Amino acid sequence: MDLGLTGRTAIVLGSTGGIGAAIARGLADEGARVVVVGRDAERADQVAASLPTAVAVTADITDPDAAERVVSAAEQAFGPAEVLVLNGGGPPPGPAGDFADTDLGRAVDLLVRPHVAFVQRVLPAMTARGWGRIIAVGSSGVQQPLPHLTGSNVGRAALAGYLKTLAGEVADRGVTVNMVLPGRIQTDRVAQLDQAAAARNGVTVEEARRTSQATIPAGRYGRPEEFAAVAVFLASAPASYVTGEQVRCDGGLIRHH
């Protein structure tokens, strides 16, 4: 299948490792010109150098000027952004009973404000050209809140509400807006969660991992490239009639329809 991504300009936030790097690689393999974004300049350069056509931009997406700097760099290198992948780290784990105003602010500052700023920066060019793809890396916690991840549950749910509203506003202008919801994908973030669960429950990290994997019908954690394949399809031309959706890639973790 021709995904129609050859020559498209794609910005992938948080793409110096894990899921983000896998998505950047998947888009590049389909011919997209990729802008690799991350806080670590050396890692960003390494990822970009490993792709056929890519540039690296060092940025912390929570900085007020990050959206302008990153998108301007993309435009200078390749032209207007046609694919935007929203991705970034979440707040530390913690129970809802201890969730304070400062925790709420942190969740919004990490998971809502930066992504809205990037969307607002690329959207005018997408609608003017009549073609655009906005894909957010969410979490299964958007549909089934995850224990001890209150900040992530709150922040990602807020972003989901914004994106669902936006999808309905721009669908008739050739722009699709979707979320891909990972369950447990084998990344540094999941390794940290396993370590936190082990400390919380007084078990080894391996025992915590086995307990987690036992809740997944597939019986294992997903691979970043498996998740990336879903995101790349949503960025494609054939996915033009898919918008406003939350697509799970979780090995069956969430049991409801």
Q: Burial of 256 by CB count in 10 Å (0-12 exposed, 13-18 middle, 19+ buried)?
A: exposed
C-alpha 228/C-alpha 233 separation (Å) is 9
Mean of pLDDT values over 16-38: 97
Average pLDDT over residues 41-70: 97
Rounded distance between C-alpha atoms, residue 116 and residue 197, angstroms: 31
* pLDDT given at position 193: 82
pLDDT recorded at residue 132 = 98
Report the C-alpha gap between 61 and 196 in whole angstroms: 25
Lowest-pLDDT choice from 55-64, 165-174, 188-197, 244-253:
188-197
- Is pTM beyond 0.75? Reply is yes
Domains delineated in the chain: 9-183+222-247 (3.40.50.720)
pLDDT (average), residues 101-129:
96
Q: What does the pLDDT read at residue 80?
A: 97
Please state the rounded mean pLDDT for residues 77-92: 95
- In tens, the pLDDT along 155-192 reads 999 999 999 999 999 999 999 999 999 989 998 888 88
At residue 84, the pLDDT reads: 98
Percentage of the residues of the chain whose pLDDT score is greater than 70: 100
Looking up tokens 């959207």, which residue turns up? 123
Mean pLDDT of 113-138: 98
For residue 75, pLDDT beyond 90: yes
User: What integer pLDDT is reported at residue 192 of this predicted model?
Assistant: 86
- Stretch 19-41: mean pLDDT, rounded? 98
**Residue 1 pLDDT grade (very low, low, confident, very high; cuts 50, 70, 90):** confident
Asked if 93 and 148 touch (Cβ cutoff 8 Å), the reply is: yes
249/68 Cα distance (integer angstroms): 31
Rg over alpha carbons for the chain, rounded to the nearest Å, is 18
Query: Is 53's pLDDT higher than 90?
Result: yes
pLDDT given for residue 60 in this prediction: 96
**Does residue 256 carry a pLDDT above 90?**
no
**Residue 79 has what pLDDT?**
97
| DSSP secondary structure of 25-76 | HHHHHTT-EEEEEES-HHHHHHHHHTSSSEEEEE--TTSTTHHHHHHHHHHH
